[in-house]
Amino acid sequence: MKLVFTRFSVVLPTLILCLVTCKAPVNNKSGKPDDTRWIEELTIAQLQKGYKDGKYTVKDVVKVYLDRINEIDKNGPKLNSVIEVNPDALSIAEEIDKEIAKGKSAGPLLGVPVILKDNIDTHDKMPATAGATALRNSFPKTDSYVARKLREAGAVIIAKSNLSEWANFRAKMSSSGWSGIGGQTKNPYVLDRNPCGSSSGSGVAVSANLCMFAIGTETNGSIVCPSNNNGIVGIKPTVGLISRSGIIPISFTQDTPGPMARTVEDAAIALGALTGIDSSDSKTIASQGKSYTDYTKYLRKDGLKGKRIGLLKKSMGFSDSVDTLMTKAVAFLKSNGADVVNIELPKLPNYEDASSTVMLYEFKDGLNKYFKKTGVDSPVKNIKDLIEFNKSDSVELRYFDQSLLEQADKKGDLNSDEYKTALAVMTKATREDGIDKVMNTYKLDAIIAPTGSPAWKTDLILGDHFVGGSSSLAAISGYPAITVPMGFIDDLPVGITFFGKAWNEPVLLEIAYSYEQGTKHRKIPNYKISD
């Protein structure tokens, strides 16, 4: 959660790419079999073709990613994007290789290494900590829905990623990507710049090619902002498209997990593997008949042709450089058959303040329920315990306070009139009177806006330095958004966001894919040190 309004357990040996039985990959950039760079920018389709052709095994690939985590994340540039490596990752990969050898190769994510944000439960040897020292030894008794779906699809969960602690719902002022357990995550393009958050480690790990794709979560900006800052694709789905059960919550109304990848195609493949009705999450009931298990059928290079797109002018003006890139993006959209029109939002009540109120109530309710349901070995059993634990911890309050935890603890239950009023205000303003009304009035297929500014310098004293962003409308409404790299300002990437009505992921994917394929702005980060 990032308001735009605002153990590493194994020590890997010296880097060796392949076992004796491993065939050197044909796309090895250096020609050296011990060079892990061959895996950079590899897509899911290319990976699985390599398995089919016998160029490498799942174990080979998983080991390369583990080596890169050791080389780049824990040594080298020290990106600090990974909190915990799965100690069973290689053995899991070996089991998948055995299944492939038997001809049982099935699943859209077969042999695909993935990293999960560390607020997502996995029933294995990795805890789910939300980055908080209080949950350092909190080992979930069951997989989250997302983890289960990934395993069923054939994916290998290789690690858990660092994040803004408690998904950034702890202090009003904080540095995105910092947590008590993981410390500060770095931006892979310029190391003293911020990765944004709260899905900081997920965004950085994808960008630095430490996994094939990652799963983040968003309440407001936590997928799209780190995707923006780290030059990748992020999908924030309609709330309810993917179950939240087994995810440490902030807001029942706004929370959603989503895929973060280097390409729209990979993100679409991951999205389809995660959808479905879950009896443990009532929000998913509404996705009946509106979700798909394969979104790749909507990936068309001519997906812009005939689309009517609204440019949200209010979201611009915070940066001349970003505006220049948006102008170029609009010109590209038009040249590829889209009709782009300037749009304005009607005057709306303060839905951002209403959302803040709702989150305080829902965070207290959801977090207390999570603690009670999981029954994990933890020194805290509710939000009040958490507040007291942090006061006595040597790390937790070193840089930032816990004002949001304290505010949430003072709130009543979800029968409160204040909660009900705020919920009604924010949903009506952003849905019926907001996105739905604007898209109907202008007859739009999608709305576009700059995702955010280039990454600011990380500051553990004064916190984040946001200039602008466009996540709130889609986030608070619970509607879908996709961000795609739009270009660079100096050495830093920025993105463009496509958003629209509920369950409109297919149309947004058509548009986003066509834009991506025609522009190809994604670049591999170089881990630059500021002058």
Is 443 in contact with 308 (CB distance < 8 Å)? yes
b/e burial code for range 276-292 (CB count within 10 A of at least 16 → b): eebeebebbebbeeebb
Torsion of CA 423, 424, 425, 426, to 10 degrees: 50
Is 489 in contact with 479 (CB distance < 8 Å)? no
Is 526 in contact with 187 (CB distance < 8 Å)? no
| The two structure tokens encoding residue 158 | 């290789």
Q: Tell me the sheet residues that pair with 70.
A: none
Question: Is 149 one of the catalytic residues?
Answer: no
| The two structure tokens encoding residue 348 | 């709306």
Helix (H, G, I), strand (E, B) or coil at 308: strand
Which residue is catalytic, options 175, 179, 202, 222? 222
Which residue is catalytic, options 2, 55, 63, 117? 117
**Measured distance CA(229)–CA(187) in Å, rounded:** 8
| The two structure tokens encoding residue 300 | 């068309």
**Measured distance CA(507)–CA(502) in Å, rounded:** 11
**Measured distance CA(170)–CA(165) in Å, rounded:** 7
Closest CA to 198 of 126, 248, 139, 142: 248
A 10 A CB-CB count for 491 gives 16
Question: What letter represents residue 518's amino acid?
Answer: G
Is 243 in contact with 280 (CB distance < 8 Å)? yes
3-state SS string over 414-458? CCCHHHHHHHHHHHHHHHHHHHHHHHHHCCCCEEEEECECCCCEC
How far is CA 383 from each of CA 358, 362, 378, 413, 518, rounded to the nearest angstrom? 16, 12, 12, 13, 48
Place of tokens 């209010």: 314
Is 312 in contact with 449 (CB distance < 8 Å)? yes
β pairing state of 233-236 and 256-261? antiparallel
Q: Tell me the sheet residues that pair with 450.
A: 496
Is 96 in contact with 144 (CB distance < 8 Å)? no
Maximum distance among all Cα pairs of the chain, rounded to whole angstroms? 67
**Measured distance CA(32)–CA(17) in Å, rounded:** 9
Is 404 in contact with 2 (CB distance < 8 Å)? no
Query: What is the DSSP secondary structure assignment for residue 487, as one 8-state letter?
Result: E
Closest CA to 362 of 249, 524, 227: 249
Question: Is 98 one of the catalytic residues?
Answer: no
A 10 A CB-CB count for 395 gives 13
Which residue is catalytic, options 175, 176, 179, 198? 198
**Measured distance CA(497)–CA(157) in Å, rounded:** 28
Closest CA to 238 of 289, 283, 281: 283
Question: Is 356 one of the catalytic residues?
Answer: no
Catalytic residue IDs: 117, 198, 222
